[in-house]
Amino acid sequence: MMDQIQQIVNQLTQKEVSGSNNISDNLAGDVAKETGSSLMEGLQNAVSGGNMGELMNMFGNSDTNSLTSNPIVKSIIDSLTSKLGANVGLDAGTSGSFASSIIPQILSMIMGKAKSGDFNISDILGSLTNGNATAMLDQNGDGKLGIDDAISAVKNGNLGDILGGFFKK
């Protein structure tokens, strides 16, 4: 699954870089690498940080304008902006503009593929949890799903966020 997402990152990054006067074509590989790494780190941080409501809201939305208001997307954009400056040598304006444009495009394409059935959200989530999507629902961290996890999710209000995101259209 991650390979397919990286292909989307590479494809859209190449297109965006070739249409940019501010980013040299010979930097496309480095820019794609930083873009993919920022995206995956941001999504993994959201999962490990328990931001399931925001993550599911993001996965349920393929509109690029709405995506930019999601805190997870903002965090990924900020991370990419920083990495492009530090690791690729782009100036802050170019980095910020590129990141603000490319991340919503990538996420929108991924969500579109998920809605069309080309991608499976549970496969994506499983990839983000190293193949253990159960970890997202394991409220007490014991590695098993049980009634105590369900009760905790209901009490903390997380269950509605988690399930609501899976069934959004």
Question: Per-residue pLDDT tens for 124-167?
Answer: 766 766 655 555 555 566 665 555 655 565 555 554 454 444 44
pTM of the model: 0.76
Domain borders along the chain are: 2-167
Question: Per-residue pLDDT tens for 50-93?
Answer: 777 777 777 776 677 778 888 999 999 999 999 999 999 999 99
**Amino acid, res. 36:** G
Q: How far is CA 10 from CA 17, 32, 104, 130, 131, in A?
A: 10, 5, 14, 22, 23
Most confident of 40-49, 113-122, 157-166: 40-49
